[in-house]
Amino acid sequence: MSRDSPPGSNSGLETVGDEQKNRSVEQTSDEERATGIVAETSDESVEPTEFVDSVVETALTNPVAAGDAIGDLLAIVRDCDEDARVAAEEALDLMGLLRPVEFEVWIGDIVQFASADRDELSFVGLRALAQLSAVRPAVAKNGLDAAISRLQAQHVPTRRAAIAVVGEVGEAFPEAVTQTDRQIMTAMRDANSSVRLAGVMTAGKLLGAEPNQFPRTVSTLPETLDDDDEEVWEYAHAALIHFVREHPSQVPEKRHVIERLATVSDEELGVREGATKDAMTTLLSYEPGFDL
């Protein structure tokens, strides 16, 4: 596995307001990276599952050091038996949760995984891209073509991960994902509630960024306010509030949206106090004479 710097990006050199201290490799001292380095897989005495366990143990105390093992974890996912593969997948997910910036220098390998024909490999690559894109969208953009090509994958986890990549990268670069408007609309109507949830979350990000580029997504989001899945229902309302805050004039069916927001509370939706009322007030300014 290569550990080359990502192509076409200078975004990884500085992080502003990064509470997890997600510095790039260029900003990580040799002393900090050297502490707690895990064993190399080239040591034949170390079984793959034992190696993964050591990576997890290191990640919990020193995720910077554990980042050096990402290439080995990817190799285990690709080449080893099911027990080792599943353990490595979980370890990669843990790294993505603790310190997703560590995926940055492995971007070439991650994009190869995301582009793989095997669903289990594609899912691992796309999930890593989604996690990375939350902190380095310009770097994750290198895998955008792979994500877009899997938006209608039959494998549900792969489809969800691809939708998440589009949302995270598209929030920063909406012009790069305008061709996904129809697929995001379809995702919000999917029979699988987890796919609908991914679609609604992505819709909120895209419509908060540039709603004019996603007309089908704009017109479909209000439909999801009636979703029978509690989590989809919650995120649909939260996404709509975000849309109203950023682009109120573009919100369709304003009176219907106002009426729906009047029936929910900030606590129900998990949004900041006053957010629902602010959204209603904003929309009412576009509907003079409308009385609830």
pLDDT band, residue 288 (cuts 50/70/90): confident
249 with 124, same domain: the answer is no
**3-state DSSP helix/strand/coil % of the chain, to nearest 5:** 70, 0, 30
177 falls within a domain: no
How far is 105 from 216, CA to CA, in rounded Å?
36
Look-up: residue for tokens 């938006």?
A: 151
277 falls within a domain: yes
65 falls within a domain: yes
Number of domains comprising the chain:
2
pLDDT band, residue 229 (cuts 50/70/90): very high
Q: Higher pLDDT residue, 27 or 258? A: 258
162 falls within a domain: yes
Indicate whether 265 pLDDT > 60. Answer: yes
| Domain at 20, CATH number | 1.25.10
153 with 11, same domain: the answer is yes
pLDDT of residue 44: 56
Mean pLDDT of 133-162: 97
Percentage of residues in the chain with pLDDT exceeding 70? 85
180 falls within a domain: no
140 with 27, same domain: the answer is yes
pLDDT of residue 45: 67
Residue 234 belongs to domain spanning: 186-292
44 with 165, same domain: the answer is yes
141 with 17, same domain: the answer is yes
179 falls within a domain: no
Residue ending a domain, choose from 121, 137, 172: 172
Indicate whether 291 pLDDT > 70. Answer: yes
What is the reported pTM? 0.83
How far is 105 from 2, CA to CA, in rounded Å?
9
Structural tokens at position 58: 């290191």
Q: Model confidence over 178-205: pLDDT tens digits?
A: 999 999 999 999 999 999 999 999 999 9
199 with 262, same domain: the answer is yes
133 with 43, same domain: the answer is yes
How far is 77 from 275, CA to CA, in rounded Å?
43
Q: Model confidence over 148-163: pLDDT tens digits?
A: 999 999 999 999 999 9
Q: Model confidence over 251-264: pLDDT tens digits?
A: 998 999 999 999 99
Task: Give the start-end residues of each E strand in 135-286.
Answer: none
192 with 161, same domain: the answer is no
DSSP class of 167: H
How far is 87 from 34, CA to CA, in rounded Å?
24
118 with 32, same domain: the answer is yes
218 with 284, same domain: the answer is yes
Residue ending a domain, choose from 143, 172, 201: 172
Mean pLDDT of 285-291: 86
SS3 sequence of the chain: CCCCCCCCCCHHHCCCCCCCCCCCHHHCCHHHHHCCCCCCCCCCCCCHHHHHHHHHHHHHHCHHHHHHHHHHHHHHHHHCCHHHHHHHHHHHHHHHHHCHHHHHHHHHHHHHHHCCCCHHHHHHHHHHHHHHHCCCHHHHHHHHHHHHHCCCCCCHHHHHHHHHHHHHHHHHCHHHCHHHHHHHHHHHCCCCHHHHHHHHHHHHHHHHHCHHHCHHHHHHHHHHHHCCCHHHHHHHHHHHHHHHHHCHHHCCCHHHHHHHHCCCCHHHHCCCCCHHHHHHHHHHCCCCCCCC
89 with 163, same domain: the answer is yes
245 falls within a domain: yes
178 falls within a domain: no
216 with 280, same domain: the answer is yes
Cβ proximity of 197 and 235 under 8 Å: yes
